[in-house]
């Protein structure tokens, strides 16, 4: 897919204030600092579309971008950020749960997992939660340039094996690096295919 245009639209706390659900939508979520905003920029071939940061907790709202004037990308705040109060965490969870469960045009959620680590409880729990909510998702293993191929594939396998304990069918997964631009074509291909349905 060729990206002809990518524009920032709006940021919201409230899912009901998001743009009208009239076009297919793809959201990116995952642990704080896992690389959601960077991945969106890589996919869009755009350095500064989504705001990135070396410090976790940069993205705090539901951010909508309009792509090729025909579909939406959504950058979501990360979970598992230690430096937030209980009440902040609760309101984050409420915001995300409402958005994920009620957004009618949401086609797929890309759940980002840091490929440098062995399976983390917080990611497994989040994925299982999506299952309970029946939200369609795929997995994206990020920052593959930071480890050897062998380490990355070990971690991917271990994560999928962990999911096998609760899931009969495994979701599709991608291995990405924003530095090396790995995984871009496959993710865009999937989106293109879904948009064509």
Residues that bind ligand GTP (CB under 6 A): 32-38, 52-54, 56-59, 77-78, 142-143, 145-146, 177-179
Binders of Mg ion in range 21-60 (CB under 5 A): 36-37, 58-59
Nearer to ligand GTP, 185 or 193 (CB): 185
Distance CA 192, CA 172 (A): 15
Nearer to ligand GTP, 41 or 108 (CB): 41
The interface partner of residue 178, options being ligand GTP, Mg ion, none and the CB cut-off 5 to 8 Å by kind, is ligand GTP
Task: Judge residue 111's burial from the number of C-beta atoms within 10 Å of its C-beta, 0-12 exposed, 13-18 middle, 19 or more buried.
Answer: buried
For residue 137, which of 37, 28, 36 has the smallest C-alpha distance?
Answer: 28
Distance CA 176, CA 188 (A): 12
- The CB-of-62 to Mg ion minimum distance in angstroms stands at 12
- The CB-of-97 to ligand GTP minimum distance in angstroms stands at 17
- The CB-of-89 to ligand GTP minimum distance in angstroms stands at 13
Give me the residue label for tokens 């950020």: 81
How far, in Å, are 64, 153, 195 from residue 80 at the CA level?
Answer: 22, 24, 31
Is 178 a residue that touches Mg ion (CB under 5 A)?
Answer: no
For residue 104, which of 78, 135, 129, 80 has the smallest C-alpha distance?
Answer: 135
- The CB-of-185 to ligand GTP minimum distance in angstroms stands at 15
């Amino acid at each position: 897919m060729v990206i002809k245009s990518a524009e920032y639209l709006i940021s919201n706390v409230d899912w009901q204030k998001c743009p009208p659900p009239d076009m297919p939508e793809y959201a990116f979520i995952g642990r704080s600092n896992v690389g959601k905003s960077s991945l969106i920029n890589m996919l869009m071939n755009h350095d500064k579309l989504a705001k990135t940061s070396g410090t976790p907790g940069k993205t705090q709202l539901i951010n909508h971008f309009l792509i090729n004037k025909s579909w939406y990308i959504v950058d979501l705040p990360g979970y598992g950020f230690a430096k937030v109060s209980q009440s902040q965490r609760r309101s984050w969870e409420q915001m995300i749960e409402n958005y994920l469960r009620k957004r009618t045009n949401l086609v797929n959620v890309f759940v980002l997992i840091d490929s440098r680590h062995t399976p983390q409880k917080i990611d497994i729990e989040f994925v299982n939660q999506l299952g309970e909510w029946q939200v369609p998702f795929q997995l994206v293993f990020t920052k593959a340039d930071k480890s050897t191929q062998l380490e990355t594939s070990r971690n991917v396998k271990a994560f999928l094996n962990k999911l096998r304990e609760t899931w009969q069918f495994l979701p599709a997964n991608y291995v990405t690096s924003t530095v090396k631009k790995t995984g871009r074509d496959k993710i865009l291909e999937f989106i293109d295919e879904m948009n064509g349905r």
